[in-house]
Structures are given as structure tokens and as C-alpha cells.
Amino acid sequence: MINRGQPETKPASTLKPTVREVMDRIDDGLSRGRVPAEIFGNPDIYQAELRRIFGRAWVFMAHESEIEANGDYVVRKIGEDSFVVTRDEHGQIHVLFDACRHRGVQICRSDSGNSSHFRCPYHGWTYSSDGSLVGAPLWKNALGGMTKENNGLAKQPRWSPSTA
Ligand code: FES
């Protein structure tokens, strides 16, 4: 599970009017045992969910049993962000943003698998399963001053192992 911040505590009165109106209709519908179908397609509700739920609260990512062997990984989305949950060659679990540090391209092309490395399909930057940048084509010539140490996949800083 990861937590991307504290739960939003703003009162409901700060919601955009369209969201507030839909929430009122939901309340009304629930009292009659119904939920308005518009909540599934309303872009304002979607944006509110991204901010208030997926951007702030603990969200289940993966179970340890899904990445039992070293090198196992699964790709998951939280809101619109993609993450890779990996078990590195030493058995440590990492939650990495699935975005190349070069130009942000998604590096994982399958939902799950086993690999010691991830190679970006765009320009070939290669990362180990712990997110460290291993290398890139023409690294010394094309990217002379850059260090590999500061260009690994971004790690999700707040996560908690889930074994239950
Ligand atoms: S975008 Fe990944 S190597 Fe360029």
C-alpha cells in the first residue's frame, strides 16, 4: 500500500458546484436505494476522486505473494499514475514510478513478469529491478555531465508491505 499524502480535510462546501450538485443527487438517490449513473462519467467527479482519494489516501498496490521470486514485478495504476512493484535481486521490494527519467515514457510494457532489468523502449535507458539507472546508449558522449546515481526510476517514498 502506498500513501501519497494526508487525507484532504476541506469541508464539502469547497467542492465545485457541479460536484456538489452531483453529491446532493447521490445523497438523494441513496436515501431511495439508488446511485445516479452520472457519477461514472462525470469528469468533475473523476477529478475530485483523483485529488481526494487516489492522490491522498492509502491505496492497495499489490500483495507480496504476487512478486515471490527475485525479479518478479507487477504494474499497477493509481489514478492516472503507473507504478512498478518489484522484488529486486536481493529480495527487497520497491515501488517505482513507471516513467523513464529521460523523457517520461512508460518503461514496463507488460502487466507482470520477471526481469532483472527494465529497458525503456524509446531511447534505451536501462534500469535494474531496484530502479537504479544501469546505463544508456552513448552515455558518456551524449550525456557527459549526468550521473547515473541521480537518474534512477523515481521511488514511491511512502509505502507499507502487505502480507495479510
Ligand atoms: S524516454 Fe526513456 S530513454 Fe528516452
In DSSP terms, 128 is beta-bridged to: 117
107-to-4, 59, 101, 118, 129 alpha-carbon distances in Å: 22, 22, 10, 7, 12
pLDDT tens string 35-57: 888 788 888 888 888 888 887 88
pLDDT tens string 70-91: 999 999 998 899 999 999 999 9
Q: Which residues line ligand 1 (CB under 6 A)?
A: 100, 102-103, 105, 120, 122-125
Quick one: three-class SS letters along 130-147? CCCEEECCCHHHHCCCCC
Structural domains for the chain = 17-54 (no CATH), 64-150 (2.102.10.10)
- Nearest protein CA to atom 4 of ligand 1, as residue: 123
This prediction has a pTM of: 0.77
- Nearest protein CA to atom 3 of ligand 1, as residue: 123
CA atoms within 13 A on the CB side of 42: 18
Q: Hey, which of 96, 117, 123 would you mutate to test ligand 1's pocket, going by the most ligand atoms within 8 Å of its Cβ? A: 123
106-to-10, 134, 136 alpha-carbon distances in Å: 33, 17, 16
